[in-house]
């Protein structure tokens, strides 16, 4: 078996060169970090579940006409994606106050927002992903005004699609983060959805009980993170065959 060249390692994923030019293999780790990696741990089976959940959500989103980097799932922990130039801006959509918003705005957790609010954060571990405005994005050339418009309109459509989808399985979509990339094809460049969408990058609360079914269980040492991720997959009807037993998956893949 040939060794694949690693092109990037992030906190939760590794990217390898793909089988064809213009593709990458995205490998999902069980490693979990919070607060810019000040807190580190492992959520057993997370990589397998996030691979499935992200596949499922990206597929539903693509069906609604939003271009994504997802090509196909390869195995338990890997998916084939299109290679993009990541726009260094995290786009967050919030429906209900939670997380950093509650502290910054003094709004209690769980407060319904008058409308969905879109925020931008600059992707920089060094600076701790600061909140930024469109002015910063254009002034520093991280994205142009057209790309900002595309990111905002796609993020809001993703919010509509996912809010409905999760409502149908008894989960309230509180907020989420998405990332976009530039996909170059010949002379053309297109803004497409990239990265992942999973309980690492969303807040999900049970509609009946308000139980947290996402990474806040790890961030806040609440326990039950593994079970929460499995529960999201189970409700979406995509728990890996064999259930949690299968979730360790292949450990070494280089």
Chain residues binding ligand TMP by CB under 6 A are 92, 98-101, 129, 175-177, 201-203
CB of 47 to ligand TMP, least distance (A): 16
Distance (Å, whole) CA 1 – CA 26: 18
Give whichever of 147 and 200 is closer to ligand TMP, judged by the CB atom.
Answer: 200
- How many separate helices (H) and strands (E) can be counted in the chain? 6, 14
> Which residues lie below 8 Å from residue 94, measured CB to CB, with a gap of 6+?
101, 113, 116, 117, 118, 119, 174, 175
Q: Which residue lies nearest ligand TMP, judged by its C-beta? A: 99
Closest by Cα among 63, 85, 55, 71 to 18: 71
Question: How many CB atoms within 10 Å of residue 55?
Answer: 18
Beta bridge partners, 86, equal 181
Q: What angle do CA 83, 86, 89 make, to 5 degrees?
A: 160
Give whichever of 17 and 134 is closer to ligand TMP, judged by the CB atom.
Answer: 134
Give whichever of 16 and 176 is closer to ligand TMP, judged by the CB atom.
Answer: 176
CB of 30 to ligand TMP, least distance (A): 17
Give whichever of 179 and 226 is closer to ligand TMP, judged by the CB atom.
Answer: 179
CB 50 within 8 A of CB 200: yes
CB of 17 to ligand TMP, least distance (A): 25
CB of 38 to ligand TMP, least distance (A): 12
Give whichever of 39 and 190 is closer to ligand TMP, judged by the CB atom.
Answer: 39
CB of 99 to ligand TMP, least distance (A): 2
């Amino acid at each position: 078996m040939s060794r694949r060249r690693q092109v990037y390692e992030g906190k939760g994923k590794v990217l390898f060169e793909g089988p064809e030019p213009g593709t990458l293999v995205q490998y999902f780790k069980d490693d979990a970090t919070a607060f810019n990696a000040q807190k580190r741990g492992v959520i057993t089976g997370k990589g397998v579940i996030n691979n499935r959940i992200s596949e499922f959500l990206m597929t539903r989103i693509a069906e609604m006409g939003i271009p994504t980097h997802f090509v196909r799932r390869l195995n338990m922990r890997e998916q084939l994606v299109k290679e993009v130039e990541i726009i260094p801006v995290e786009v967050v959509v919030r429906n209900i106050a939670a997380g950093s918003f509650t502290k910054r705005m003094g709004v209690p957790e769980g407060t319904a927002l008058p409308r969905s609010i879109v925020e931008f954060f600059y992707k920089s571990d060094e600076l701790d992903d600061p909140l930024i405005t469109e002015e910063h994005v254009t002034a520093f050339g991280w994205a142009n005004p057209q790309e900002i418009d595309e990111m905002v309109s796609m993020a809001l459509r993703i919010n509509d699609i996912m809010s409905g989808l999760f409502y149908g399985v008894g989960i309230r979509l509180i907020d989420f983060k998405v990332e976009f990339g530039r996909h170059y094809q010949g002379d053309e460049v297109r803004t497409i959805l990239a990265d992942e969408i999973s309980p690492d990058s969303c807040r999900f609360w049970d509609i009946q009980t308000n139980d947290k079914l996402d990474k806040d269980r790890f961030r806040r040492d609440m326990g039950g993170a593994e079970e929460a991720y499995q529960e999201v997959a189970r409700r979406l009807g995509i728990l890996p065959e064999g259930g949690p037993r299968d979730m360790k998956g292949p450990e070494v893949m280089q």
